[in-house]
C-alpha cells in the first residue's frame, strides 16, 4: 500500500537518521500521527533551532550555549590536564562519570585516510596551540581518549609525535592513552560507565 505523501516525507527524514531503518521510521511517523499537535510542534521547533542555537566552544570545540562550554568556563577545572576526544558526545560520556577534573579537546573526527580525513581536517593544530600556550610552570598531561580503533590509535600516535616536536621540555608534558578497559575497536560513546571508568583509570604513558 502506498502511504500518503505527508507520511512518506516524514518516513524518509527519519530513515536518514543513524540506526533507523524503514520499519522504525514508519512506526515513528505513525506514532506522531497520534500524538497531540503541540508535541509535533515542540518536536519540529526544537530540531529547527538546534543548529542555530548551538555554539562551538572557542577553547575545546565542544558544544556550548555561549562562547565557552560549561567545562571550560568552570575555573575549578584543571586546564593542565587535557582529555582529547573524537566527538563532543564522548566528552559527555566521560563527564557523566563525574570523576575527571581536567578539561577536554574535541577533535571533531579522527584521521582516516580511506575517508579522506587528514590531520588538517580535525582540530589537531588547535590542540598543539593550546598545549604550547600553557605556561610550563607545572606538568601538563594530555590524555588521548580517542577510540581503540585503528583510526583512533593512528590519531593518538600522530598527536603524540606532534606534541613531542613542540618546543617544551620533555618532562613537562606527559602523554597518556586511555587504558585497556575498553574492548579493542570500541567506541567511547557506547561504553558503559564501569568500562569507561576502568579505561580512564587504567591510562598508560605513551
Contacts to Zn ion by CB under 5 A: 57, 59-60, 62, 69, 72
> In a 3-state reduction of DSSP, which class is residue 65?
coil
Cβ-proximal residues to 177 (8 Å cutoff; 6+ apart), any chain: 143, 144, 145, 156, 203, 204, 205, 206
Backbone angles phi and psi of 174, in degrees to 5: -105, 130
Could you tell me the smallest distance in angstroms from the CB atom of residue 133 to Zn ion? 15
The minimum distance between CB 26 and Zn ion, in angstroms, equals 39
Rounded-to-integer distance, Cα 154 and Cα 113, Å: 10
Q: Which is nearer to Zn ion, 25 or 60 (CB)?
A: 60
C-beta of 72 vs 200, nearer to Zn ion: 72
CB nearer to Zn ion: pick between 44 and 66? 66
C-beta of residue 29 within 8 angstroms of C-beta of residue 11: yes
Q: Which residue has the cell 597518556?
A: 176
Shortest Å distance, C-beta 96 to Zn ion: 16
For the CB of residue 71, give the shortest distance to Zn ion in the complex, in Å: 5
Q: State which residue, 11 or 143, has the beta carbon closest to Zn ion.
A: 143
Q: How far is the CB of 130 from Zn ion (least distance, A)?
A: 11
Residue in 149, 84, 82 with CA at minimum distance from that of residue 122: 84
Q: Which is nearer to Zn ion, 60 or 82 (CB)?
A: 60
Amino acid at each position: 500500500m502506498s502511504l500518503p505523501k505527508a507520511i512518506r516525507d516524514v518516513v524518509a527524514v527519519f530513515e536518514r537518521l543513524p540506526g533507523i531503518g524503514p520499519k522504525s521510521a514508519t512506526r515513528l511517523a505513525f506514532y506522531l500521527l497520534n500524538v497531540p499537535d503541540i508535541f509535533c510542534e515542540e518536536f519540529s521547533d526544537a530540531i529547527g533551532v538546534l543548529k542555530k542555537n548551538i555554539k562551538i566552544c572557542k577553547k575545546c570545540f565542544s558544544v556550548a550555549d555561549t562562547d565557552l562550554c560549561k567545562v571550560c568556563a568552570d575555573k575549578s577545572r584543571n586546564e593542565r590536564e587535557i582529555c582529547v576526544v573524537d566527538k563532543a558526545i564522548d566528552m559527555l560520556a566521560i563527564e557523566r562519570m563525574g570523576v575527571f577534573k581536567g578539561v577536554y579537546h574535541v577533535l571533531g573526527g579522527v584521521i582516516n585516510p580511506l575517508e579522506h580525513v587528514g590531520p588538517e581536517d580535525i582540530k589537531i593544530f588547535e590542540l598543539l596551540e593550546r598545549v604550547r600556550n600553557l605556561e610550563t610552570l607545572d606538568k601538563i598531561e594530555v590524555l588521548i581518549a580517542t577510540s581503540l580503533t585503528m583510526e583512533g590509535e593512528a590519531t593518538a600516535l600522530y598527536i603524540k609525535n606532534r606534541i613531542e616536536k613542540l618546543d617544551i621540555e620533555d618532562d613537562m608534558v606527559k602523554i597518556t592513552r586511555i587504558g585497556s578497559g575498553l574492548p579493542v575497536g570500541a567506541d567511547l560513546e557506547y561504553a558503559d560507565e564501569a568500562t569507561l571508568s576502568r579505561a580512564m583509570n587504567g591510562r598508560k604513558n605513551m
